[in-house]
């Protein structure tokens, strides 16, 4: 704020003093010299306060920027660590799921082997029965031939 360029409206002051206190001042009155001195002192004080406030604001802005950088670094570190923990958990879950899938595949393969074994056993039993039946049938058919053979063949 540049208060040095702002000058006092002397006519307004004369009118205001006259209205409030019934005292008539002239523009060259010594009271205006005191007002001017007061104004100059106030302007200097305002400039000092402005300079201090400006310095405080600059320090505050620097502190804020530093805090923002630190917060951003901490946030980035936390995001990185969280990502690593999530990745480890996912890898662990994938490993667990893989193990469970492997066990299920082994169970399915075992069931398939048992089913295949049962089928093969059933086929073997049926084949054995068929062979037995064929042997009995062949034996029964061959029995009259053997009897004939025994009659024909010399001993």
The residue-averaged pLDDT of 60-77 equals 95
Element (H, E) at 152: helix 30-152
**Contact by Cβ (8 Å): 36, 8:** yes
pTM for the whole thing? 0.43
pLDDT at 6: 60
**CA-CA distances (angstroms) from residue 79 to 33, 35, 72, 85, 106?**
67, 63, 10, 10, 40
How does pLDDT run across 130-145, given as a tens digit for each residue? 999 998 888 777 777 6
Higher pLDDT, 116 or 150: 116
CA–CA distance, 107 with 28 (Å, rounded to integer): 113
CA–CA distance, 140 with 146 (Å, rounded to integer): 10
Which pLDDT band, with edges at 50, 70 and 90, does 2 fall under?
low
Higher pLDDT, 128 or 36: 128
CA–CA distance, 24 with 17 (Å, rounded to integer): 7
CA–CA distance, 155 with 150 (Å, rounded to integer): 9
């Amino acid at each position: 704020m540049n208060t040095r360029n702002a000058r006092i409206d002397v006519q307004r002051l004369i009118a205001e003093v006259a209205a409030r206190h019934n005292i008539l001042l002239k523009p060259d009155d010594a009271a205006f010299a005191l007002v001017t001195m007061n104004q100059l002192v106030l302007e200097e004080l305002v400039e000092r306060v402005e300079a201090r406030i400006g310095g405080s604001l600059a320090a505050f802005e620097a502190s804020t920027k530093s805090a923002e950088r630190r917060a951003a670094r901490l946030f980035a570190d936390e995001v990185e660590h969280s990502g690593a923990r999530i990745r480890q958990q996912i890898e662990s879950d994938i490993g667990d799921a893989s193990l469970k899938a492997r066990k299920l595949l082994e169970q399915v393969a075992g069931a398939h082997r048992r089913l295949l074994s049962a089928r093969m056993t059933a086929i073997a039993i049926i084949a054995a029965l068929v062979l037995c039946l064929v042997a009995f049938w062949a034996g029964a058919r061959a029995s009259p031939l053997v009897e004939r053979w025994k009659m024909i063949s010399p001993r």
